[in-house]
Amino acid sequence: MNGYSWTKPVDKPTGSTYFVPYSVSAIFPNSGKVEGGTEILIIGSGFVKKDDFQPRCRFGTPTNYAITEGQIISYNKMMCLSPPVFSFK
């Protein structure tokens, strides 16, 4: 997840449209098994379920990372499974 992604536009009663950014305030736990499969809970805001959108989590560094699919639980919670360490690019 990054600070450059935005959720679906929200139309205000005034007729103007704006974008609501999501934010991340905490991630639990801060470590997991080397073989992956640890449930990672992301706490924040702006997580919105959309039919044409699959949330994803990126683990690692900008040059060595792995991406897994996530699941939005609520506006404030999202969950991803950690990847195995050997799956990093």
Q: Residues 57-79: pLDDT tens digits?
A: 999 888 889 999 999 999 999 99
Can you give the residue ranges of every domain in the chain? 6-87
Architecture of domain 6-87 in this structure: Sandwich (2.60)
pLDDT at 4: 45
Buried b / exposed e over 52-82, threshold 16 CB at 10 Å, is eeebebebeeeeeebebebebeeeeebebeb
Q: Which residue type, as a one-letter code, is found at position 2?
A: N
What pTM value is reported for the model? Answer: 0.71
